[in-house]
Structure 1
Amino acid sequence: MSHTAHIRSHRKPRRSASRVAMRAGVAGGVLGTLAVAGSSASANAAEPVTQTLELPTLTADLAAQVAQSADATEQAAANYRLGAERDAAAAKAAKQAKADLADAKKKAEARKKAAEAARKRAAARAAAERASRTTDRPTLSASVGVGSTSTSVSTATGSAAAVISFVKAQVGKAYVSGATGPSAYDCSGLVQTAFKQVGISLPRVSQDQSTAGTQVSLSNLQPGDILYWGGAGSAYHVGVYVGDGMFVGAQNPSTGVVERPLSYDPPSGAVRVL
Structure 2
Amino acid sequence: MSHTAHIPSHRKPRRNAPKTALRAGVAGGVLSTIAVAAAAGPAQAEPVTQTIEMPTITSGLSTAVAASAEATQQVAQDLQTQAQEDAAAATAAKAAKKAKAEAVRKAEAKKKAEAAAKAKAEAALRASRAEARTTLSASSGSSTNVASTTSASSSSSSSSSSSSATGSAASVLAFVKAQVGDAYVSGGTGPNSWDCSGLVQAAFRSVGVDLPRVSQAQSTAGTQVSLSNLQPGDILYWGGAGSAYHVGVYVGGGQFVGAQNSSTGVVQRPLSYDPPSGAVRVL
- TM-score, normalised with respect to structure 1: 0.47
Larger radius of gyration: 2
Higher helix content, 1 or 2: 1
Q: Which has the higher contact order (CA 8 A, sep 6+)?
A: 1
- TM-score, normalised with respect to structure 2: 0.46
